[in-house]
Amino acid sequence: LAKTTQPISMDSYEGQEVNITCSHNNIATNDYITWYQQFPSQGPRFIIQGYKTKVTNEVASLFIPADRKSSTLSLPRVSLSDTAVYYCLVGDGGGSGGGADGLTFGKGTHLIIQP
């Protein structure tokens, strides 16, 4: 799995748009970019996944530039309940039996939303 780098922590305020950028310079051709959210004492929750350009769902948007060496998770109009750790993961997801390391989570970005 490609190594990822993301900020350790970020602060923002309710109602703001938050963008968390993840660097993955060694991303491979078959790799997808996936973001998870984790609240304290809970399991991570899948947020969004993409391969290139832009992906949007009801929770977030994911922007991926043409070179795919980075990606940005965008959370629109955050609320206090968005305070959590956000993990960026890059990998091909296996499927054919690969991914012996399972999901490799880095330290993630601890997002704190203030009123």
Partner 1 sequence: KAGVTQTPRYLIKTRGQQVTLSCSPISGHRSVSWYQQTPGQGLQFLFEYFSETQRNKGNFPGRFSGRQFSNSRSEMNVSTLELGDSALYLCASSSRASDYNEQFFGPGTRLTVL
- Site residues, partner 1 (CB under 8 A): 32, 34, 41-46, 49, 89, 91-108
* Residue 27 CA from chain centroid, whole number: 14
* Residue in this structure with the two tokens 């660097």, named with its chain if needed: 23
Quick one: 29 or 115, whose CB is closer to partner 1? 29
Question: Would you give the DSSP letter of residue 31?
Answer: -
Nearer to partner 1, 32 or 63 (CB): 32
Q: How many beta carbons lie within 10 A of that of residue 83, not counting itself? A: 16
10 versus 103: smaller Cβ distance to partner 1: 103
Pairing of strands 84-91, 45-50: unpaired
Q: CB of 90: closest distance to partner 1 in angstroms?
A: 10
Of 28 and 114, CB closest to partner 1? 28
Both tokens of 85, joined, read 């750790």
Place of tokens 């997002």: 111
Q: How far is the CB of 77 from partner 1 (least distance, A)?
A: 25
d(C-alpha 1, C-alpha 69), whole Å: 14
Residue 71 CB, shortest distance to partner 1, in Å, is: 14
Shortest distance (Å) from residue 14 CB to partner 1: 26
